[in-house]
Amino acid sequence: MGRGTIEELRLLGGRLYGKVIQNINSTFTGGGVAEILSRMVPLLGELGVDARWSVIKGDDEFFQVTKKFHNALHGRSESIGPADFEIYIENSRRNIAEMELYGDVIFVHDPQPVALVSKKKELGRNWIWRCHIDVSRPNQDVWRFLEAFVVQYDAAVFSAPAFSPMLPVRQFLIAPSIDPVSDKNRDLPQSVVNSVAEKYGVPLDKPVITQVSRFDYLKDPIGVIEAFRLVRKSINCRLVFAGGTATDDPESDKVLAEVKERAENDPDIHILLVPPGSDIDINALQRVSTIILQKSLGEGFGLTVSEALWKAKPVVASAVGGIPLQIRNRVTGLLSHGIEGTAYAIRQLLSNPEYARRLGENGREHVRRNFLITRHLRDYLLLFLAIGRAEDIIYL
């Protein structure tokens, strides 16, 4: 990033001096939102913006409901009844009563805390809802329920154009980003990379295909194993499925158990439960990989794709959510639509290392220009400055 970029960010940050930006989501750890906020909040601070971060409270029952909401918004079939909506409303009511809402801009992330906006009439302020998930084909019952809250916001933010529904509030397009100097993305010495592979018991004797994601049905871990088994019929290789769990995802233990069962103690399949905060381990596992997969059934944006591309790795990923924004098929990676298609794409890359290398290099350049945190920071600063101003050209 150039000096001009930093100057521009400082200039924009200076215009927000004295304003408090209060970010609210449902967890401090685990998942893409927490990861982005853990980077974004301190960086905003360095630019002179008083950005803070709060989380809502919720019991297991509440998070089970929000998990169902999450899946349903992604288009998965879920059984959601009036009792679930009641649990959500009751928990939200408690948060509204207990939570201190002090920001000049209240920036609410994802559906879990969306109902906090009920306090807008009393408090005033600028309210923005940041939707990190793909709501292009949502379960209509869940969407209608949440929409009643979303329309009370001053603006909504989506990660891809296709996620944008017709709403009576302004909507902005802001793609998420990765931090190139974070432990998860910075360059690592080869000795560290090798030692991490050794620590997790992954021999580097044959090509390694890796998917990094939470143990979540939407990430299709079973599909990953099936695609891998199709590839291994003709090419000797290994599969690494590395993931963690998040406090707001009660389903992950169940998925992990199921994945282990499907792996059937296959010595070429490594199911790795990576503890939270093991960013260097994830970084190293991505770097030892020959190909990186993201065979999700639904994605908000799929930051793991940007992480893999940043490491110049050839990526095979499903054409869902924000992934097509990151992968232009056959230019910065390969898009697939099913298990067979994924297996075919992996075979293509393993058989053509020069082609794979070219895709990886293009992918890194694409991420450098569009999905690094500096661009994300700039978009957020502009959003905070633009909120409440209707003009198409804003002179600061």
Site for other proteins, rule CB under 8 A: 4-5, 7-8, 11-12, 15, 136, 158, 161-162, 164-167, 170-174, 319, 369-370, 378-379, 382-383, 385-386, 391-396
Residue closer to other proteins, measured from CB, 6 or 83 = 6
Task: Find how far residue 362's CA is from the centre of its chain.
Answer: 21
Distance between CA atoms of residues 350 and 301, nearest Å = 26
Q: How far is the CB of 233 from other proteins (least distance, A)?
A: 31
Q: How far is the CB of 96 from other proteins (least distance, A)?
A: 28
Nearest in space to 159 (alpha carbons), one of 135, 127, 129, 132: 132
Nearest in space to 221 (alpha carbons), one of 242, 248, 238: 242
Q: How far is the CB of 45 from other proteins (least distance, A)?
A: 21
Q: Residue 313 contacts by C-beta under 8 Å, 6 or more apart in sequence?
A: 286, 287, 289, 291, 292, 360, 363
Residue closer to other proteins, measured from CB, 96 or 382 = 382
Residue closer to other proteins, measured from CB, 137 or 260 = 137
Residue closer to other proteins, measured from CB, 174 or 280 = 174
Residue closer to other proteins, measured from CB, 120 or 170 = 170
Q: How far is the CB of 362 from other proteins (least distance, A)?
A: 12
Residue closer to other proteins, measured from CB, 123 or 151 = 151
Q: Do residues 208 and 242 touch, judged by C-beta distance below 8 A?
A: no
SS3 49: coil
Helices 60-73 and 82-98 cross at an angle (nearest 10°) of 120
SS3 349: helix
Q: Do residues 25 and 33 touch, judged by C-beta distance below 8 A?
A: yes
Residue closer to other proteins, measured from CB, 97 or 166 = 166
Token code pair at residue 208: 């390694």
Place of tokens 């432990």: 183
> For 30, phi and psi rounded to 5 degrees?
85, 135
Residue closer to other proteins, measured from CB, 9 or 239 = 9
Q: How far is the CB of 39 from other proteins (least distance, A)?
A: 20
Longest dimension (CA), the chain: 65
Residue closer to other proteins, measured from CB, 135 or 209 = 135
Nearest in space to 77 (alpha carbons), one of 297, 354, 238: 297
Q: How far is the CB of 373 from other proteins (least distance, A)?
A: 16
Q: What is the CA radius of gyration of the chain?
A: 21
Place of tokens 């960086």: 43
Q: How far is the CB of 133 from other proteins (least distance, A)?
A: 15
Strand-pair category, 208-212 with 126-130: unpaired
Q: How far is the CB of 169 from other proteins (least distance, A)?
A: 10
- The DSSP secondary structure of 350-392, one letter per residue, reads HH-HHHHHHHHHHHHHHHHHHSBHHHHHHHHHHHHHHTT---S
Residue closer to other proteins, measured from CB, 48 or 165 = 165
Q: How far is the CB of 140 from other proteins (least distance, A)?
A: 16
Residue 260 exposed, middle or buried by CB count within 10 Å (0-12, 13-18, 19+): middle
Q: How far is the CB of 388 from other proteins (least distance, A)?
A: 12
